[in-house]
Amino acid sequence: MSEIRIDPIKKFSRTLLCAPDKSITHRALMFNAAARGKSEVRGMLCGEDCLSTLECMRKLGAQIELNGDRASITGNPEFASANLYAGNSGTTMRLLGGLLAAKRGEWVISGDDSLSRRPMKRIITPIELMGGKITGTDGHAPLTVKGGRLHGIDYDMPVASAQVKSAVILAALGAEGETRIREKEISRDHTEIMLESMGVNIFRSGGEIRLCGGQVPQAVSVLVAGDISSAAFPLVCGLITGGEVTVRNVGLNPTRTGLIEVFDRIGADYEITDINAACGEKTGTVTVRGLGQAKPYKIDKSMMPRLVDEIPVLAVLACFLRGESEISGAEELRVKESDRIARTLELLRSVGATAEETESGMIISGGNARLRGGCAFDAQGDHRMAMSAAVALAASEKGGSVIGGECAAVSYPDFWRLFS
């Protein structure tokens, strides 16, 4: 395991393209591999999670050629039975669980230690309600799926989770009759947007989604823009070191832009230009220029789906805002690649910040001009914790190191180049 040294940076100023969108890459690979026809996915994320999806889809029978960041796919809606490995990727495992349930065959989907600790009951329950045969080990991976006939259901989402919603939508595609899904807080809608572009009839209004079974998506080529959850790291690093950072071609789907809402709330100096669209997804260039007298923030449950992966780095940002910032309704963070509430508090304290844990989040006391740093933070296999630590250390007096930082490659393979 490597230990990556991060020196303090006076003003972190960069113009860059960040890592491509992980959620969109997973879906583009998975849905096209399960579709009728040929397609190309360009500008895809070649991070470990998405490569897990790619390998699973090859095992299921799709032909996928990978050239740099371009995948040429010949889809195959009839899947071969296989043992599948999802690595560290919750998206791969949960979406596949739904997709396979209505196909013919038998599959076992396993994952690494972290993924094997994450809850899978959340997809097992709705798939069982649809008549599907999917079992875990005490609600965890490995999952065994015995494909068969499913029927549509009316489902009120008990958690705000795009992975669960997508699993139900994918199962519904192969089910008899109509499925209705209702969400209290609307989670990222890349699945709905992409399936629509693949000719699937899927109706949405407010928090309700309706679709009928018996639909096979038609392959569609996809161009993947930057991932706002990855852009968050250089953007926050720029803000807290007083630098100017521009990230070009970032996905700005409104179900993902909680980060920008936080920039608005605190009064950060930022700008969005070059607004465009790629495959039904809004994109743009985001520039940050500094914090000035930025105010602390409050983030609650209603915002959580729009910034769930950005919480650790937003907690680092809070250290530099004058006053107390509060994050609540963040229970879902406890079941990500690590318990990100506990690990974020550990990170903040080890770099010299003051923060306290609450039932559903944390309160962070800000106002630091610089953090102390001078520590070694162990990422323990969680990519977003590794990258959040790098940002905090870059904005510290002494710098420090990130142990096991190579896990950043799960979502941002070029991340460490930002600091070299």
Among 86, 134, 162, 347, which residue sits at the site for ligand S3P (rule: CB under 6 A)?
A: 162
How many residues bind to ligand S3P according to rule CB under 6 A? 12
**By C-beta, is 229 or 368 nearer to ligand S3P?**
229
Residue 49 annotated as catalytic:
no
**Smallest distance, ligand S3P to C-beta of residue 30, A:** 11
**Smallest distance, ligand S3P to C-beta of residue 27, A:** 7
Q: Which of residues 329-348 bind ligand S3P (CB under 6 A)?
A: 332
Q: Spot the catalytic one: 21, 49, 189, 309.
A: 309
**By C-beta, is 188 or 248 nearer to ligand S3P?**
188
- In angstroms, what CA-CA distances link 290 with 80, 209, 303? 53, 40, 23
**Spatial separation of the C-alpha atoms in residues 20 and 225, rounded to whole Å:** 5
Structure tokens at 409: 């490659």
**Spatial separation of the C-alpha atoms in residues 130 and 314, rounded to whole Å:** 38
Q: Is the dihedral of CA 183, 185, 187, 193 positive or negative?
A: positive
Among 52, 88, 163, 249, which residue sits at the site for ligand S3P (rule: CB under 6 A)?
A: 163
Label residues 102-116 b or e (16+ Cβ within 10 Å = b). bbebebebbbbebbb
Instruction: For residue 161, state whether it binds ligand S3P (rule: CB under 6 A).
Output: yes
- From residue 21 to residue 60, what is the string marking binding to ligand S3P with x (rule CB under 6 A)? --x--x----------------------------------
Rounded (10°) CA dihedral 307, 310, 311, 317: -120
Label residues 253-290 b or e (16+ Cβ within 10 Å = b). bebbbbbbebbebbebebeeeeeeebbebbbbbbbbbb
- From residue 191 to residue 230, what is the string marking binding to ligand S3P with x (rule CB under 6 A)? ----------------------------------------
Classify the phi-psi angles of 397: left when phi > 0, otherwise alpha if psi is within -120 to 50, otherwise beta: alpha
**By C-beta, is 50 or 73 nearer to ligand S3P?**
50
Among 40, 48, 227, 309, which residue sits at the site for ligand S3P (rule: CB under 6 A)?
A: 309
Residue in the block written with tokens 């743009």: 284
**Smallest distance, ligand S3P to C-beta of residue 280, A:** 16
Residue in the block written with tokens 């229970």: 331
Q: Which residues bind ligand S3P (CB under 6 A)?
A: 23, 26, 91, 161-163, 166, 187-188, 308-309, 332
Catalytic residue positions, numbered: 309
